[in-house]
Amino acid sequence: MRRYSKKGLEKRKLERGKFPEFYAKHVAIIKETKACCAECGCRLKGDISEVAHVLNKSIYKSVSTCDDNIIYLCSWQSTNNCHSKFDNSGLDIFKDMLIYDRVCNIFSAIKDLVREKINFKTLDRYIKDY
């Protein structure tokens, strides 16, 4: 486990302060709407790990709790584990996912909200003709 200085720990708490409310809201939406995984269609259980960030929440902190920066994907509790596949797959596998066009559209819609510099790896992942 990573150790933080007191100053670093306070900064991290401040950055992540809105996460509990953010996740609770989306878990409630998943449960109320009986949402399904956007990739494979399996029924979601209503777990925090089913709320996937399009732009990585630890890199793009300015949109980490933006409601438009998420997509609902099944987690490690399902047989498909689409959230892990989405987060960890290479570009070739990612581009073959059914949600690829949808995620690229989400990126296009939120990219102007991002205050951090968007790196080339992210652009390559979400812009089709980059």
Q: Where are the beta strands (DSSP E) in the chain?
A: 51-53, 70-72
Token reading at 55: 């732009």
Lowest-confidence pick of 24-28, 33-37, 111-115, 126-130: 126-130
Paired strand residues for 53: 70
**Contact 83/114 with Cβ under 8 angstroms?**
no
**Residue 71 DSSP symbol:** E
Map out the domains of the chain as residue ranges: 19-126
- Global pTM value: 0.85
Q: What is the mean pLDDT of the chain?
A: 89
Higher-confidence residue of 60 and 18: namely 60
